């Protein structure tokens, strides 16, 4: 959910764009990271862990914890918390354990 | 092609920007490298006003400090800024490599300042990998940069400054904070931040910890327990709470990867956040000409990071040019840093630094708070009545308006002194760590000091014994701001409802910068008890 009113901050949002996450269309604003747009859409479950298949989501949001890695436009292990959403982007969960 | 520079700064947060400005101003051809596509680091998430010395941006919101620093940077033509650029490594031939636009860039700097910052620590407990468990910084990023509500009901783990400040910011963003959990017996952060939360009704549970996150695909709650003096679980103290997110604010660790790769020696100092570079009082690492600043040099407040950034930048100038003219400023900056660290809250950092280098101003000596007995405040976030009484004027003086500064902990901060147009606020001995005092002969109750206090700890009262009425003016920076004439709920220091009052005056101009000053009229006996107000019917408290 996006914050509409804030006592201190004003949010200038960019142009409305769309990308897909596992085939579903997600709305975003230019300048937002993929993770921010997913969170705004209520998506918290990103991947499953390699071995135990436990759900994984956002943790650090500064590109250091590796919890949010996804395949973006075919590029694997993209840190979606520091990668801006781009119109028409294709974002997919990485469930690397599946390949084993 | 190899890009040649006098100084390369890695990291565009407060320390890195200040280092770049210092280097650039003194004539160095400087390159500032930042991984993200924007400068400012963590400053751009900080909506609160900064503590510290008025001279060093205190009293200004972090977001505005970031803007000011960036403006200064842009004005210096000998500084090149490369954003969206990740520094990769530094090699024996003196070449620094960086990734920019999917291409490797080679840089040959004569000196370097590393200001890579820190990342958040994790906490071991059952189910701690569930989606909905966020670092406090992540929550700040979502709500303060992107304007996205991080969750509906948050449990905060950790009562350091980050835990307390982010809890307050969550409430500003419309999120309910059900409580703050702290394993130690005392609140870790500045107690004025704790008091801000308490009067919003948020409980702070010291000597408690989280045992388990509840939920299968995402967080649905948490299992808490109480701890004894030996940090062991007290049997039968388990308690389950409902929340949709758990926010971890359990400390930071320096981001020292590139430092290690470069071959700068590091050492483990818990008080400074973990593995930190060995460095001198002038911030020089074991590699000559390579300096560190900010959280990488040891976890501390952003005000210290900015001072260290400038100090590192000036030392880079001295290293490259041999120019001794920067010495005076270097000496001044060291004095400022010493001032910030001199009080009781600087004990940990002093102890950490004393393990790194010997310096006449750094001691690990324990300095006890000697002004006030703040035991109750440190355990609960609510000052004891005897603390408050010390800040009050004589009864006869109370018929005219007077400021009550509920600032009892010795923290390095002084914007209130400069906010008073009548010179009525002073800090004893001009020691920035001592708590401010009001000269009631000079105070006119003009309300100027209320908005500028970073701890929102100043209130103005007035009593009219003949009518049995009085007024109290409080700082207010939440949504649902009342209007003049509204009947509002009056809340005590612990957030409980005392009664109702009428809003008689609102200051909300440029000077207040979004921290409104709201004056309410109420019964005389409530005047010294009211510390928060809310529009009727907007109750949203902690529930533990």
Interval A48-98: pLDDT, tens: 998 899 999 999 999 989 999 999 999 999 999 999 999 999 999 987 655
Q: What is the pLDDT of residues B503-544, one digit of tens each?
A: 999 999 999 999 999 999 999 999 999 999 999 877 655 445
pLDDT less than 50: residues of chain B: 542-543
ipTM surpasses cut 0.90: yes
Q: Does the residue B12 lie in any domain? A: yes
Question: What region does A66 belong to: left with phi over 0, alpha with psi -120 to 50, or beta?
Answer: left
| Interface residue A2 vs chain B (CB under 8 A) | yes
By CA distance, what is B120's nearest residue in A?
A60
Q: Which of A46, A61, A84 to mutate to test the interface with B (most CBs of B within 10 A)?
A: A61
Q: Does the residue B25 lie in any domain? A: yes
What are the C-alpha distances in Å from B309 to residues B9, B40, B220, B327? 10, 13, 42, 15
Q: Are residues B432 and B521 in the same domain?
A: yes
Q: Which of A12, A64, A81 to mutate to test the interface with B (most CBs of B within 10 A)?
A: A64
The rounded distance, in Å, linking the Cα atoms of B269 and B110 is: 29
Q: Are residues B50 and B169 in the same domain?
A: no
Q: Are residues B415 and B271 in the same domain?
A: no
CB contact at 8 A, A61 and A44: no
The rounded distance, in Å, linking the Cα atoms of B288 and B294 is: 19
- Please tell me which of the candidates B130, B132, B148 has its beta carbon nearest to residue A36: B148
- CB atoms near residue A78 (< 10 Å): 19
Domains in chain B, number: 3
E runs forming strands in B39-196: 79-82, 85-90, 96-100, 103-114, 118-120, 133-135, 153-157, 176-182
Instruction: Specify the pLDDT at position B187.
Output: 96
Instruction: Specify the pLDDT at position B487.
Output: 96
**DSSP-H helix ranges across B83-183:** 136-140, 161-172
- Identify any residues that bridge with B533 across adjacent strands, giving them in sequence order: B490
Instruction: Specify the pLDDT at position A100.
Output: 39
Asked if B135 and A49 come within 8 Å (Cβ–Cβ), the reply is: no
Instruction: Specify the pLDDT at position A99.
Output: 41
Structural tokens at position B88: 């990769």
Q: Are residues B531 and B402 in the same domain?
A: yes
Q: Which of B129, B131, B220, B533 to mutate to test the interface with A (most CBs of A within 10 A)?
A: B131
Closest approach of A24 to chain B, Cα-based (Å) = 19
The rounded distance, in Å, linking the Cα atoms of B31 and B109 is: 9
Tell me which chain A residues have a C-beta less than 8 angstroms from the C-beta of B63: 9
Q: Are residues B142 and B111 in the same domain?
A: no
Q: Are residues B233 and B220 in the same domain?
A: yes
Q: Does the residue B541 lie in any domain? A: no
Domain C-terminal end among B285, B319, B354: B354
CB contact at 8 A, B112 and B8: yes
Q: Where are the domains of chain A?
A: 16-96
Q: Does the residue B427 lie in any domain? A: yes
Q: Work out the mean pLDDT of chain B and round it to a whole number.
A: 93
| Interface residue B132 vs chain A (CB under 8 A) | yes
The rounded distance, in Å, linking the Cα atoms of B73 and B41 is: 14
| Interface residue A43 vs chain B (CB under 8 A) | no
- Report which of A2, A64, A88, A68 is spatially closest to residue B143, judged by C-alpha positions: A2
DSSP, collapsed to helix, strand or coil, labels residue B515 as coil
Instruction: Specify the pLDDT at position B198.
Output: 98
- Identify any residues that bridge with B179 across adjacent strands, giving them in sequence order: B155
- CB atoms near residue B510 (< 10 Å): 6
Structural tokens at position B120: 């958040």
Handedness of CA B521, B524, B526, B532 (dihedral sign): positive
Domain C-terminal end among B194, B223, B250: B250
H/E segment holding residue B380: helix B375-380
Asked if B129 and A46 come within 8 Å (Cβ–Cβ), the reply is: no
Asked if B134 and A45 come within 8 Å (Cβ–Cβ), the reply is: no
Q: What is the dotted CATH code of the domain comprising A16-96?
A: 3.10.20.440
Burial of B466 (0-12, 13-18, 19+ CB in 10 A): exposed
Instruction: Specify the pLDDT at position B191.
Output: 96
Query: Parallel, antiparallel, or unpaired: how do β-strands B204-206 and B176-182 relate?
Result: parallel
The rounded distance, in Å, linking the Cα atoms of B191 and B345 is: 11
> By residue range, what is the domain housing residue B19?
2-116+253-354
Q: Are residues B316 and B451 in the same domain?
A: no
Q: Does the residue B359 lie in any domain? A: no
Structural tokens at position B117: 């910052």
DSSP, collapsed to helix, strand or coil, labels residue B88 as strand
DSSP, collapsed to helix, strand or coil, labels residue B199 as coil
- Please tell me which of the candidates A1, A9, A45 has its beta carbon nearest to residue B47: A9
Q: Please, which pLDDT band fits residue A43 given cuts at 50, 70 and 90?
A: very high
Burial of B389 (0-12, 13-18, 19+ CB in 10 A): exposed
Q: Are residues B149 and B233 in the same domain?
A: yes
Instruction: Specify the pLDDT at position B430.
Output: 81
Q: What is the pLDDT of residues B281-307, one digit of tens each?
A: 999 999 999 999 999 999 998 899 999
Asked if B141 and A3 come within 8 Å (Cβ–Cβ), the reply is: no
CB contact at 8 A, B46 and B62: yes
Domain C-terminal end among B193, B228, B250: B250
Asked if A39 and B137 come within 8 Å (Cβ–Cβ), the reply is: no
Which residue do the tokens 């976890």 mark? B299
Asked if A2 and B479 come within 8 Å (Cβ–Cβ), the reply is: no
| Interface residue A36 vs chain B (CB under 8 A) | yes
Closest approach of A85 to chain B, Cα-based (Å) = 12
Q: Are residues B393 and B523 in the same domain?
A: yes
Structural tokens at position B534: 């809310």
Q: Does the residue B365 lie in any domain? A: no
- Report which of B358, B300, B361 is spatially closest to residue B331, judged by C-alpha positions: B361
By CA distance, what is B216's nearest residue in A?
A55
Asked if A84 and B37 come within 8 Å (Cβ–Cβ), the reply is: yes
- Report which of A25, A40, A29, A32 is spatially closest to residue A91, judged by C-alpha positions: A25
Q: Does the residue B42 lie in any domain? A: yes
Instruction: Specify the pLDDT at position B477.
Output: 95
The rounded distance, in Å, linking the Cα atoms of B327 and B338 is: 16
| Interface residue B514 vs chain A (CB under 8 A) | yes
Instruction: Specify the pLDDT at position B362.
Output: 58
Q: pLDDT > 90: what percent of chain B?
A: 86
Q: What is the pLDDT of residues B460-508, one digit of tens each?
A: 999 999 999 999 999 999 999 999 999 999 999 999 999 999 999 999 9
Tell me which chain A residues have a C-beta less than 8 angstroms from the C-beta of B143: 3
| Interface residue A54 vs chain B (CB under 8 A) | yes
Q: Does the residue B496 lie in any domain? A: yes
Residue B254 phi, psi (nearest 5): -60, 145
Q: What is the pLDDT of residues B112-128, one digit of tens each?
A: 999 999 999 999 999 99
| Interface residue A3 vs chain B (CB under 8 A) | yes
Q: Are residues B62 and B131 in the same domain?
A: no
Q: Are residues B103 and B143 in the same domain?
A: no
Asked if B479 and A5 come within 8 Å (Cβ–Cβ), the reply is: yes
Q: Are residues B422 and B396 in the same domain?
A: yes
């Amino acid at each position: 959910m996006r914050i509409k009113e804030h006592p201190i901050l004003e949010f200038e949002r960019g142009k409305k764009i769309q990308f897909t996450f596992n085939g579903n269309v997600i709305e975003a604003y230019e300048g937002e990271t993929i993770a921010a747009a997913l969170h705004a859409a209520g998506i918290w479950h990103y991947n499953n862990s390699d071995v135990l298949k436990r759900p994984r989501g956002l943790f650090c949001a500064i590109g250091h914890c590796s919890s949010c890695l996804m395949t973006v436009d075919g590029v694997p292990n993209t840190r979606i918390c520091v990668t801006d959403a781009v119109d028409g982007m294709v974002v997919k969960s990485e469930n690397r354990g599946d390949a084993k | 092609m190899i890009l040649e520079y006098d100084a390369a700064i890695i990291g565009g947060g407060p320390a890195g920007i200040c280092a770049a400005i210092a280097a650039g101003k003194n004539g160095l051809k400087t390159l500032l490298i930042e991984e993200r596509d924007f400068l400012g680091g963590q400053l751009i998430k900080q909506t609160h006003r900064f503590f510290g010395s008025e001279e060093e941006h205190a009293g200004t919101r972090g977001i505005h400090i970031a803007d000011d620093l960036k403006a200064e940077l842009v004005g210096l033509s000998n500084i090149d800024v490369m954003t969206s650029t990740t520094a990769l490594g530094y090699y024996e031939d003196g070449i620094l490599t960086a990734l920019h636009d999917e291409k490797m860039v080679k840089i040959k700097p004569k000196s370097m300042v590393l200001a890579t910052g820190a990342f958040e620590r994790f906490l071991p407990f059952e189910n701690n990998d569930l989606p909905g468990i966020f670092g406090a910084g992540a929550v700040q990023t979502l709500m303060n940069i992107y304007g996205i509500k991080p969750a509906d009901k948050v449990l905060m783990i950790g009562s350091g400054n980050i835990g307390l400040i982010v809890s307050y910011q969550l409430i500003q963003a419309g999120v309910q904070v059900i409580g703050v959990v702290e394993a130690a017996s005392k609140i870790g952060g500045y107690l004025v931040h704790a008091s801000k939360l308490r009067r919003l009704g948020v409980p702070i549970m010291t000597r408690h910890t989280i045992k388990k996150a509840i939920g299968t695909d995402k967080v649905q709650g948490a299992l808490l327990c109480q701890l004894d003096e030996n940090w062991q679980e007290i049997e039968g103290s388990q308690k389950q709470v409902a929340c949709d997110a758990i926010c971890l604010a359990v400390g930071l660790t320096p981001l020292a990867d590139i430092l290690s790769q470069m071959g700068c020696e590091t050492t483990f100092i818990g008080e400074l956040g973990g593995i930190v570079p060995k460095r001198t009082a002038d911030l020089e690492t074991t590699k000559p000409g390579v300096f560190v600043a900010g959280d990488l040099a040891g976890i501390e407040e952003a005000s210290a990071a900015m001072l260290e950034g400038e100090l590192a930048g000036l030392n880079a100038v001295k290293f490259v040019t041999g120019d001794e003219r920067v010495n005076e400023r270097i000496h001044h900056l060291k004095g400022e840093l010493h001032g910030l660290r001199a009080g009781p809250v600087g004990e940990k950092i002093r102890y950490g630094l004393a393990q790194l280098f010997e310096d006449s101003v750094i001691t690990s000596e324990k300095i006890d708070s000697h002004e006030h007995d703040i035991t109750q405040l440190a355990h609960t976030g609510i000052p004891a009545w005897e603390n408050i009484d010390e800040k009050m004027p004589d009864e006869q003086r109370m018929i005219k308006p007077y400021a009550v500064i509920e600032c009892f902990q010795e923290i390095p901060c002084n914007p209130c002194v400069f906010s008073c147009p009548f010179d009525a606020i002073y800090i004893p001995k001009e020691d920035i760590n001592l708590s401010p005092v009001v000269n009631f002969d000079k105070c006119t109750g003009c309300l100027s000091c209320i908005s500028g206090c970073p701890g929102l700890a100043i209130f103005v009262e007035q009593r009219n014994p003949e009518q049995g009425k009085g007024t109290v003016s409080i700082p207010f920076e939440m949504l649902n701001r009342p209007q003049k004439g509204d009947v509002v709920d009056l809340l005590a220091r612990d957030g409980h409802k005392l009664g109702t009052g009428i809003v008689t005056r609102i200051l909300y101009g440029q000077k207040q910068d979004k921290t409104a000053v709201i004056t309410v009229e109420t019964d005389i006996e409530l005047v010294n008890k009211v510390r928060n107000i809310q529009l009727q019917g907007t109750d949203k408290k902690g529930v533990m």
